[in-house]
Every structure is written in C-alpha cells, then in structure tokens.
Amino acid sequence: MKGWAAVSDFDGTITLRDVGDHLLLHYGFSDKETIEASYSLKVRVENFMKSAFAGARLTEDAIAGFVRGKVRARAGFREFILFCGASGVPLEIASGGVDLYADPFFKMHGVKVRSFFGRGRVVKGGIKITYPFLKLMDLSSFKASRVRRLKRAGYRVVFFGDGPNDFKAAQLADKVYAAGRLLKLCRERGIAASPLTDFRKAAAFIRKNTASPTPDS
C-alpha cells in the first residue's frame, strides 16, 4: 500500500461557488433555470459549458479580474495542496471548468497543481471551449478513471466534489468529501461521504489514517 492520493473537482469544490455558472449569471449570458437544468444527471457538463460559453463575450482580462474580485476559495484548500506536496500525496484536479478562470485562480493563490481543465479561447462572439482529455469518454467517466488509475497504482484515494458529474468518481473512492448536490446524491444512494467544509479536515484524516512505518520495516 502506497498511502493516499487525492482527486478533486474544482468548481464549487475548491471554490465556494461554481465559477462558470457565476460568470455566466453575473454577465447575463445565462439564467438560473438553464443552469439548474444543467445539473441533471442526464446532462453532460462539458456540452453545457461549450454551448453556454459560445455566446459569452468576455475577454481574458475580464475573466481574470472577475476571479480576483469575486471568486472565493474554500477554507484550507491552499494548505491542503501544500500538505499533499510535503507528504508525497499525489493530488490532481479533474474539472469540466476552463483554464481561463482556473489559471488566474491558482496564480492568485500561488500554487501549482496537476490538473485537467477545458481549454477556453476567446473567439469572435464568445468563448470556444475544447476538452483535449475527453476524446475517449465523458467528463463524469473521466473523473472516475482518474480515481481508478490511482487505485490501480496502489493508492487509497480521497475524492472531493460537489456535483452530479462527480458521483461516479465518488463511488470508486476510498474516502469522499462532498458538498451540495453530490452530498445529497451520496446520501440518497448510500455512498459514505463526509460533508466538505474545510480541506484541512482531509489533511487530518490522511495523517490519522497513514500508518507510521515501524522501526524495523
């Protein structure tokens, strides 16, 4: 057993609100009903993102400014990233979100993390999003595949998420921290999950559940 690894969603998990939704609502490129409908288990988040942002006339600078002014991080996320780095816990982020807002977010917090985000390009009339890592599967299966991969490599995996598209990954993980719709879904379907409030709790959990090596081994 190699110890623990971590996989996390970004929007609504590392951030307190879904940044994509927040941006679309703030600038009037979508409405609450459309966004609510995008959370159905039947909707592919990546398709929603592509179509919702196709008409979002925003510049890279406007998005970066929005991130700096309006996007709040969940408590303890930076400490958790630093903890993982210092403790040899592989950590990665698998997200249906976009680099245009993720990059300024991580830059602002001064951390670098292995991550998978959609690629956003400002084009005429809006933003074109592509998902180079989703050639073979949908986002929800991709997230699950990242958990599966680490488990096959011998890790126990802690997963963090908040949305229905995180449910497949949560089902495979050894420990789940869930917020919002994911927490509700886990409870309805009998998947053990702790409420995600502060990432420092996960660091404490990993520390507590990592056996210290015995002197002779």
Of the candidate residues 56, 102, 162, 176, the single one contacting Mg ion (CB under 5 A): 162
User: Near Mg ion by CB under 5 A, which window of 82-90, 121-129, 160-168, 202-210?
Assistant: 160-168
Instruction: Give the residue with the Cβ less far from Mg ion, 11 or 46.
Output: 11
Of the candidate residues 5, 12, 91, 94, the single one contacting Mg ion (CB under 5 A): 12
Strand partners, 127: 122
Of the candidate residues 6, 7, 8, 11, the single one contacting Mg ion (CB under 5 A): 11
- 118 contributes a contact to Mg ion by CB under 5 A: no
Decide if 146 contacts 154 (C-beta within 8 A).
no
Instruction: Give the residue with the Cβ less far from Mg ion, 9 or 92.
Output: 9
Shortest CB 79 distance to Mg ion, Å: 20
Q: Which long-range contacts (CB under 8 A, 24 or more apart) does 109-112 make?
A: 109/73, 109/77, 109/78, 110/78, 111/78, 111/81, 111/82
- 21 contributes a contact to Mg ion by CB under 5 A: no
Cα distances (Å, whole numbers) of residue 90 to 148, 201, 207 = 14, 17, 14
- 46 contributes a contact to Mg ion by CB under 5 A: no
Shortest CB 48 distance to Mg ion, Å: 12
User: Near Mg ion by CB under 5 A, which window of 60-68, 100-108, 162-170, 195-203?
Assistant: 162-170
- 163 contributes a contact to Mg ion by CB under 5 A: yes
Q: How far apart are CA 14 and CA 138, in angstroms?
A: 21
Decide if 27 contacts 58 (C-beta within 8 A).
yes
Instruction: Give the residue with the Cβ less far from Mg ion, 17 or 78.
Output: 17
Cα distances (Å, whole numbers) of residue 191 to 137, 174, 197, 202 = 23, 10, 18, 18
| Contact residues: Mg ion, CB under 5 A | 9, 11-12, 162-163
